[in-house]
Amino acid sequence: KKTAEDHGEAFKRIANVNPGSTVRAEELRQRERDAGDELVAHLGQSQFAEARVKQTRENSWEPTAELEQLREELLGWVTRMRALQEEIETCYLEAFYRERGEPG
């Protein structure tokens, strides 16, 4: 698993290969930031949903639809993050090979 610091190095290499790559690196960096913000929001929703379940359990009613929706949103986030991770890695490898002058 890559850390934000690892990605920082990847973004630098991508941006340094040629001037046009700077825009792509910044776009990827911004998408990664946005995804982090989205996760924080989902975690807040998760805590809220947990509290609702505990609160309503006394009435033997559980908001399964609400929890299922949250679960689907989180799975969607994971899928988008995996795709972003792959895109960052591909972009990094392209930059690496261009930097070395090798076909990639």
Per-residue pLDDT of 41-56, as tens digits, reads: 877 777 777 776 666 6
Annotated domain spans of the chain: 4-100
Q: What is the pTM of this model?
A: 0.60
Q: Which two tokens stand for residue 85?
A: 């991770």
Note the pLDDT tens digit of each residue in 57-99: 666 555 567 777 778 888 888 898 899 888 888 888 887 787 7
